[in-house]
Amino acid sequence: MIQISALPAFTDNYIWLLQDHRSHRCAVVDPGDAAPVLAWLEQHPQWTLSDILVTHHHHDHVGGVEQLKSVCGAMVYGPANEHIPARDIALNDNDRINVLGWDFDVFAVPGHTLGHIAFYHHGQLFCGDTLFAAGCGRLFEGTPEQMYTSLERLAALPADTLVYCTHEYTQSNLRFAQAVEPTNADIAERLKNVSQLRANAKMTLPSTLALEKLTNPFLRTAETSVKEKADERNGRNNQSGSDVFASLRSWKDTF
């Protein structure tokens, strides 16, 4: 049995902690800061950090990797096409790894960065900064077409898949989603629920793909209302889903 919980880092990052209660080994995903992980390990001396999973090279996701590896000797997995500090295993699209007894499929999901990867074990998706709750990552390196394709790939996973993204952006993302679809009752309901959680300093993750498909505009580019709003925003007829996505992402960048 693997338990998944979050270690908050910086202002809005989450470092995902996976605990195997049979072996008392644990793994972390995207440790941008070693301090929260080391503090947890100090408070739980019976646990050993054996694995570190990295989705992309940005500092708030890799800043703690080298220190954690030096202290714990953990195995570091990360994308082959990016510079990942202290990486032991370089991962490419469609690779499979076994961590804590779970098989993870590796998906290349370029867009936020060119080498970005996601880790998927049936029912659980660790997607870094590609798919957010009610949103998606900025395009720092990739093209709108690449990010659109990456999001469509993730959206094709089973609807009950839990989405473990790495930032607490849900409330602000839902405000944008409501601007895109002001009459979407699912968005209004989710924003109400999320606002209550945040008012009580509670996290809003993980999400599910089913909920994302109802409330995330970047997964709803085929909806007529979303396309019409995108057309209105950039004053042209967006012919493809990736065109709609590009219009929405450009709008979100300045929202």
Residue 129 appears among annotated catalytic residues: yes
Q: Which residue of the set 20, 30, 51, 129 is catalytic?
A: 129
Helix (H) or strand (E) holding 14: strand 13-20
167 marked as part of a ligand binding site: yes
What is 35-104 written as a DSSP string? HHHHHHHHH-TT-EEEEEE-----HHHHTTHHHHHHHH--EEEEETTS--TT-SEEE-TT-EEEETTEEE
61 marked as part of a ligand binding site: yes
Q: Which residue of the set 112, 116, 121, 243 is catalytic?
A: 112
Residue 159: Cβ-neighbour burial (10 angstroms; 0-12, 13-18, 19+): exposed
129 marked as part of a ligand binding site: yes
Q: Which residue of the set 20, 33, 57, 58 is catalytic?
A: 58
60 marked as part of a ligand binding site: yes
Residue 116 appears among annotated catalytic residues: no
**Which parts of 160-200 are beta strand (E)?**
162-165
Distances (CA, A) of 170 to 111, 132, 148, 176, 204: 20, 7, 19, 10, 7
Q: Which residue of the set 20, 33, 51, 56 is catalytic?
A: 56
What is the Cα–Cα distance from 110 to 210, expressed in whole angstroms?
22
What 3-state class would DSSP assign to 141? coil
Residue 56 appears among annotated catalytic residues: yes
3-state helix vs strand vs coil in the chain, percent to 5: 35, 25, 35
Q: Which residue of the set 30, 33, 51, 60 is catalytic?
A: 60
What is the Cα–Cα distance from 151 to 130, expressed in whole angstroms?
7
Residue 57 appears among annotated catalytic residues: no
What 3-state class would DSSP assign to 127? strand
What is the Cα–Cα distance from 25 to 23, expressed in whole angstroms?
5
Please provide residue 127's backbone torsions phi and psi, each rounded to the nearest 5 degrees: -115, 15
Q: Which residue of the set 30, 121, 167, 243 is catalytic?
A: 167
What 3-state class would DSSP assign to 185? helix
Q: Which residue of the set 57, 61, 116, 121 is catalytic?
A: 61
122 marked as part of a ligand binding site: no
Residues involved in catalysis: 56, 58, 60-61, 112, 129, 167
| Known binding residues for Zn(2+) | 56, 58, 60-61, 112, 129, 167
Annotated binding site: 56, 58, 60-61, 112, 129, 167
